[in-house]
Chain A
Amino acid sequence: MPDNRPTRRNFLKTLSAGTLGGLVFAATGCKREVLDEFLQKHFREMTDEEKKQVIRRLEKSYREKYGLDFKVGTTEAVPNTLWGYGLDLSRCIGCRRCMHACVQENNNSRAKPQLQWIRVLRLKKGNLINLEQSEHYYNPETVPEPGFIYMPVQCQQCENPPCVKVCPVQATWKEPDGIITVDYNWCIGCRYCIAACPYKGRVFNWAEPTISREEWNTDVHYLGNRPRMKNVVEKCTFCVQRARIGRYPACVEACPTGSRKFGNLLDPSSEIRYIIENKRVFRLKEDFNTEPKFYYFFSI
């Protein structure tokens, strides 16, 4: 009776043949770009020249893939900056304009999977601490609804970020200006960071992102809103492509009630410092010692 069960010998044979074949294929047959991408260094270990090469390669591949001229930036953190965010819970009406502006600005997948970096929670008034009773699929005719308050949650850009600690390959880290970023080329898609984040601040590309040609925002940053690939984690970066050139993030500009505030925590004259010094502020799940740089406040 023939034995068709896989044996250790056969397994090793196939494996080594496959590896050898793959190496030969990589060295001779396949495109240079694929090899370059495979051998690309960690973003923080690249020299300026290497970064330029990577950007050139990415822009070329985006042109081939999407037929658009992307401008991929690598703007570094501005010295003496630490970005902080303020959100006025007494003015937010839960209209989700921020969520949709974010999706457009940051080239999030629109469907299959639909990914959003902002989640607007609806809570019963007087029930702010019971987050487990929150709801983010609410869909009434008009907002605000009587008896409810709304609490948008996104990446809180923790000073002590649990997601960074758990990443086995250091594909996510805290930049000098306090933004937690992801090198999508380095991410292996293990999703440990998603499990570690107490704010549900990260989402995963289960499939190749779907965005129609006219919906792409071509002004992108390597660490932010550049096109993502399948099997990488992504998150809010306070619009790193905007913040580092002094522009307000997209969600701030989209909010019709002016509930969203942004600024440099190290600048005593900034809007965010005014809020911390003059308003009642709190940070979400402060007891976890994550030290978020996202301040919820009440202006009335």
Chain B
Amino acid sequence: MKRILPVLALAFAIGTGLPVFAVLHHDEFPVPPPPLSEGIYPCGNCHAGMEVNTKRRELTDEHQNIKLRHAENVRWCLDCHNPGNRDKLRLVNGNLISFGESYLLCGQCHGNIYRDWKAGIHGKRTGYFNGKKTYLLCVHCHNPHDPKFKPIKPEPPPYRPEDKRNAR
């Protein structure tokens, strides 16, 4: 019975549609370290002695640079950041995950995109498509606090045929 218990639990989890994070091995998605701002991690260094304030407010002492533009009307810091151990992120089901696994957090709401990302369709892969490749975390391209892509400057257009730089 002991042996089949995990299997049963797994079957139950899949059956109920719960995201089965336990079976997803971290090694399965080799990602570079998350792009944390320099000198900010571990968060616990500052937060350890601080009282947890769950009240929604304008931040004035620290993190003023963070402007939340990500469903900001219904979301606040501690929806994703874990109030207890600040070096972890917290999923809706209460599981704590490291910053390197943040795709699990994003996938809670963005299920379709998470599915595509796992298949290599959403986001960029580099390296060897048949072998060692590098995945990117959602946060390597999207600022988690302001995820919409900003317009960028395009590379220069081709020379027109009549352009002097194109003439023989």
> Which A residues are within 8 Å of any B CB, using their own CB?
86, 88, 93-97, 99-100, 111-114, 116, 119, 136-144, 206-207, 245-248, 252-253, 255-258, 261-264, 270-271, 274-275, 278-279, 299
For the complex of A and B, 9 pairs with smallest distance between CB atoms:
A142-B151, A258-B124, A96-B155, A246-B130, A271-B120, A246-B128, A258-B123, A143-B154, A137-B157
Given A111-B165, A111-B166, A299-B122, residue A246 in contact with residue B151 (CB < 8 A): no
Given A247-B127, A248-B126, A262-B129, residue A112 in contact with residue B165 (CB < 8 A): yes
Contact residue among A96, A141, A142 (Cβ-Cβ distance under 8 Å from B157): A96
In the docked arrangement, what's the CA distance between A248 and B130, Å? 9
Can you show 14 pairs from A to B with CB atoms below 8 A apart? Answer: A96-B154, A99-B158, A113-B168, A136-B158, A137-B157, A138-B157, A142-B152, A143-B154, A207-B168, A246-B130, A248-B126, A252-B126, A271-B120, A271-B129
Whether A247 contacts B152 by the Cβ 8 Å rule is no
Contact residue among A95, A139, A144, A246 (Cβ-Cβ distance under 8 Å from B129): A246
In the assembled complex, the CB of A269 is this many whole angstroms from the nearest CB of chain B, namely: 9
Is B119 an interface residue when CB atoms closer than 8 A count as contact? yes
In the docked arrangement, what's the CA distance between A270 and B168, Å? 44
Given A263-B129, A274-B119, residue A139 in contact with residue B152 (CB < 8 A): no
Whether A255 contacts B124 by the Cβ 8 Å rule is yes
In the assembled complex, the CB of B152 is this many whole angstroms from the nearest CB of chain A, namely: 6
Whether B159 contacts A114 by the Cβ 8 Å rule is yes
Chain A residues, Cβ within 8 Å of B168: 112-113, 206-207
Most A CB contacts (10 A, CB to CB) among B121, B126, B159 go to B121
Chain A residues, Cβ within 8 Å of B155: 95-97, 99-100
User: Is the contact region of chain A dominated by helix, strand, or loop, or is it mixed?
Assistant: loop
Most A CB contacts (10 A, CB to CB) among B128, B154, B159 go to B154
Chain B residues, Cβ within 8 Å of A261: 120-121
Chain B residues, Cβ within 8 Å of A263: 129
Chain B residues, Cβ within 8 Å of A256: 124, 141, 152
In the assembled complex, the CB of B10 is this many whole angstroms from the nearest CB of chain A, namely: 22
In the assembled complex, the CB of B2 is this many whole angstroms from the nearest CB of chain A, namely: 34
Nearest-neighbor residue (CB-CB) of B153 within chain A: A142
Chain A residues, Cβ within 8 Å of B129: 246-248, 262-263, 270-271
Whether B149 contacts A257 by the Cβ 8 Å rule is yes
Nearest-neighbor residue (CB-CB) of A135 within chain B: B157
In the docked arrangement, what's the CA distance between A262 and B130, Å? 11
Given A248-B127, A248-B129, residue A258 in contact with residue B151 (CB < 8 A): no
Interface residues of B in 109-168 (CB under 8 A from A): 116, 119-131, 133, 141, 149, 151-160, 165-168
Whether A112 contacts B166 by the Cβ 8 Å rule is yes
Contact residue among B124, B126, B158 (Cβ-Cβ distance under 8 Å from A114): B158
9 more CB-based (< 8 A) A-B contacts, given A142-B154, A261-B120: A111-B166, A137-B157, A137-B158, A246-B130, A248-B128, A248-B133, A256-B141, A264-B130, A271-B120
